[in-house]
Chain A
C-alpha cells in the first residue's frame, strides 16, 4: 500500500514546491528529483526527507549518550508544546525518542513561550534554559513573530543571538519553523520569516525540522473530503501537525545523531538528508 502511495505523493510534492530553501540540501538536489517518502514515519505523517529536515551535529546529546546518563530535553513552543491536549506532543516526543534510542532515558520538560522572539521571548528562553539546564532545546520558533508582523531582520538578529548563546553553553538546539496553513501560503512576510528561520539554522549549523514544508506537503496530499466545517480540514491538519511533529522531530534528532563525528570540519560536508539509514529506528 505504501509503495503505491509513494509516487503519487512525490508527484504532489513536486507540484506543491514553490518556496525553495536557500541552503544546500534541496538547492542541489540533482540526483533525486522524485524522492521516496520517509517510511520510518507513520503513514499519515510521511514526507520526503528533503521536505522534512536539515541535519547537523548534536554534540551535547551525543555526550550524554556516551556518558550513559539521561538526556534532558527542553521543548519550547509558540504555545503548542506546553498545553492541554497538546501535552500529547511532549509526551509523544518523549516516547518516540525513547523508541528510537533504545536503552536511553529521555526526560522532557516542556514550556509554552508566548510573545515574540524579537521582543523579549528570546530573553525568557534563556531563563528557562538556565532553570532546566538541558542537553537539547527543541524550539518551535517564529509563528508569534510572523503573526505580529515583527520586522524579519529584527527577528533574525534576536534568533541568532539566542541560538548562539545556547550553543555557547554546549547545549544543542533543534529549530522547528512556523506552522503552515493554506491562508498564509501566499503571504510574503510570513514566508520571508520562514526563510529567515532556515537561514539562521543553516548559518548556525543547527538541525531544522521544516514543519512549514512538511505541513504544506501533507495538506496538498491530504484528502479533500473533510471540508465540511469552515476550518475543518485545517483543524485536522493542525492536530495532525502536532502529532506528526513529534515524529518529525524524533527523526531529525536520530538522524542528526548519526552524523559522522569528524571533529572540527563542519563546513566540509553538507547537512545531508539521508533518505534512509540502515538503522531499524522508528515505529
Chain B
C-alpha cells in the first residue's frame, strides 16, 4: 500500500464530489465545487485516470515497461472495470425493482432510464451488456471501459511520437465536436452521456502531462508561472455559474458544440476551465496535506481504491435517493444519508486493502513485501 499522494488525494476528492452530486436535491449538493465552475468532478476523475495510466505503465525509474506487459495490464484493467459496470448495473436494477415492490410504487421503475429494462428486458439486457443502455448516474464507467480499451494504442504511439499522439487525440476531439460524432444508445434513441471520442482527449492529456511533469523542468516552471491565469479562470468560472451565465445553444454560431458548455462533448469551455482548475490548485496538496492529516489519509484511501469506492458510491447514491424519496429531504435525512455514505466509502476502501493484505498474514510470512 502506497502512502498518501496528490493523485490519490484528488481522486478521493473527486469521488466524494461525485457521490454527493449523485443524490440530487440534497443540501450538500450546493457545497460541492461542481456548483462553482464550468467543469466538474468528472473531468478530474478522467484526467487522473490518464495520469495513473502513465504511472502504472512505467517502472519507478521512469523506464516504460515492455509493450506486451502494458497491453496486458490495461486489458486486465479494462475487464475489471467492465465487470464492475455490469455488476453495479445488475445491483442497481435489482435495487430499483426491490424498492418498487417494497413501496408498492411502480413509478420507481421509471427512475433513471430503468423503465426501458422493465418494459423491454429482451433488447435492453443486450444493451446493458453492450453498455449502450446506461442508467442515469451510471454512465462514467462505460466511458472508462472504452478509454481503457483504446489506451494501449495511445500509450504505444506516444512512446514513438508524443506530439503526434497529442495531435491525433486533439483532432479526434475537434472532429467529434464539429461533426457531432458520438456512440449511440440502444435500444433507446440518443447517444452516450459521456462521449468517448471527446473525453479521450482528457485521458491522453493526463498521461502526457504525467510524463512531462516527470521529465521536463520547463513544463513545471511554466505551470507555476501560469498559476495566476488559472486563478483568473477559476474566478470567471465561479462568476459564470453563480449568475448562471452560459451561451444559448440556439444562438451561438455553427459548429455549436465549440461554443456551448456541453458536458457530453466536453466542450472547449469545460476543457479550458478544467485546465485553469489544474493550474490554480497544483500546489494546494503540498500546502494542506500535512495540516489535515486524517482527511488526507481518508481521501487518499478512497483514491487508491477508486474503482471499488466509485462502484459502492454509485449504489449508495441510489440507495440515498430511495431514502430521500421515502422519508423526504431535509437536514436530518440528508446529514444521515451523506454521513453514512461517507463512512461506508471509507470502510469500502479500508476493506479492499484489508482483504488484499490478509492472505499474507494467514500464510504468516514475516518478511516485508
Contact = CB atoms under 8 A, between A and B. Distances in A.
A109 interface: yes
Interface in B93-122: 100-101, 103-117, 119-120
B364 to A, nearest CB: 51
Best-surrounded residue of B24, B109, B260 (most CB of chain A within 10 A): B24
Interface in A120-179: 123-124, 126-127, 129-131, 133, 143-145, 147-151, 154, 165, 169, 178-179
A183 B111 contact: no
Contacts of B286: none
Interface range on chain B (Cβ under 8 Å from partner)? 35 or more
A16 interface: no
B249 A85 contact: no
Contacts of B277: none
B39 to A, nearest CB: 14
A238 B188 CA distance: 18
B113 A114 contact: yes
Interface of B: 24-25, 29, 100-101, 103-117, 119-120, 123-124, 135-137, 180, 185, 187-190, 246, 248-250, 256, 260-264, 321, 324-325, 328-329
Contacts of B29: 119
Given A110-B189, A111-B189, A150 B120 contact: no
Contacts of B324: 148-149
Residue of A118, A123, A145, A154 with most chain B CB atoms under a 10 A cut-off: A123
Given A144-B111, A183-B107, 15 more contacts: A78-B110, A79-B112, A79-B114, A80-B115, A82-B185, A82-B188, A83-B115, A85-B116, A85-B120, A86-B116, A86-B119, A119-B24, A149-B328, A150-B25, A183-B103
23 contacts: A83-B124, A83-B187, A84-B116, A84-B124, A86-B115, A87-B187, A112-B188, A119-B24, A119-B29, A123-B246, A124-B263, A126-B250, A129-B250, A130-B260, A131-B180, A147-B321, A147-B325, A151-B25, A183-B103, A183-B105, A183-B107, A230-B101, A239-B119
Given A127-B260, A181-B107, A235-B106, A79 B115 contact: yes
A78 B249 CA distance: 22
Contacts of B190: 82, 111-112
Contacts of A178: 107
A130 B120 contact: no
Nearest to B322: A147
B107 A184 contact: yes
Interface of A: 78-80, 82-87, 109-112, 114-116, 118-119, 123-124, 126-127, 129-131, 133, 143-145, 147-151, 154, 165, 169, 178-179, 181, 183-184, 189, 230-231, 234-235, 238-239
A231 B100 contact: yes
Contacts of B103: 183
A79 B325 CA distance: 18
A53 B262 CA distance: 34
Given A84-B188, A86-B116, A165 B248 contact: yes
B25 A231 contact: no
B136 A85 contact: no
A127 B262 contact: yes
Given A127-B249, A169-B250, A231-B104, A83 B256 contact: no
